[in-house]
Amino acid sequence: MSVDRQDELIQFSHKALIFARQMLGNLSDAEDLVQTSLEKALSHPSAPQSGVDLQKWIYRVVRNGAIDKLRQQARYQMLDDNQESKDTTPDGQLEQRRLQQALNRALVKLPFVQREIIVLRDYHQTSYEAIADILSIPKGTVMSRLHRARMVLRKLILIEQNDIAQSNAKQQINETTDEVQHESV
């Protein structure tokens, strides 16, 4: 690598670091993101070689990485918030456990093709591009299959919850009937 290219990359990396820090609000995450972005710039065959085009390309890569990082943090934050709010009472903990069990039972009922795409994306946080590579399908197909799989999973969970509610209602009716019979005897 030429000295000019090194100087240019150093200059762009400083600007990209400031940009990433402003986007993420965390220096450590920003440093990691810029390092990854520069690795892409150095290794990607279609990356511009120098100048303003290279700077724009690095900014675009940093921006996309920052958006991905913020989405990931938001997803985990939502899970943490839900966990905290539901874990404060025994009833909340029980409900959370029941929901997780219903999700696991519904996941097992999905066809393999739908199950694998949900597991890759939602349990392993695999990118759409990586899933497309793993499954040897286009990214658009990944997105549409994932949407359909989530819809089926949602429907299976709702069906199970309705079945449980009906079963509980029948059990309460039977208990009430038994109590009435005991009182009349």
- Separation CA 128–CA 122 (nearest Å): 11
Among 79, 38, 85, smallest CA distance to 57 is for 38
CB within 8 A of 99, min separation 6: which ones? none
| Higher per-residue confidence, 23 vs 66 | 66
User: Residue ranges of the domains in the chain?
Assistant: 1-86, 89-185
pTM to 2 decimals?
Answer: 0.46
Contacts of 86 (CB under 8 A, 6+ apart): 92, 93, 95, 96
The segment with the largest mean pLDDT, out of 12-26, 118-132, 140-154, 168-182, is 140-154
CA–CA gap between residue 180 and residue 173 (Å, rounded): 11
Residue 48 pLDDT exceeds 80? no
Residue 13 CB neighbour total at 10 angstroms: 19
Residue type, 100: Q
Best CA proximity match to 65, nearest among 6, 129, 1: 129
Q: Which fold has domain 89-185?
A: Arc Repressor Mutant, subunit A (1.10.10)
pLDDT single digits (tens) 80-124: 444 444 456 787 788 888 888 888 888 888 888 888 888 888 877
Cα-Cα-Cα-Cα torsion 38, 121, 79, 159, nearest 10 degrees, comes to 170
Examine the pLDDT at 5 and tell me if it is beyond 70: no
Give yes or no for residue 172 having a pLDDT over 60. yes
Average pLDDT over residues 38-57: 71
Establish whether domains 1-86 and 89-185 are of one fold: no
Secondary structure letter of residue 123 according to DSSP: I
Q: Does domain 1-86 have CATH number 1.20.1530?
A: no
pLDDT value for 85: 47
Asked whether residue 148 carries a pLDDT value surpassing 50, the answer given is yes
> Which pLDDT belongs to residue 57?
78
**Contact predicate 141/95, CB 8 Å:** no
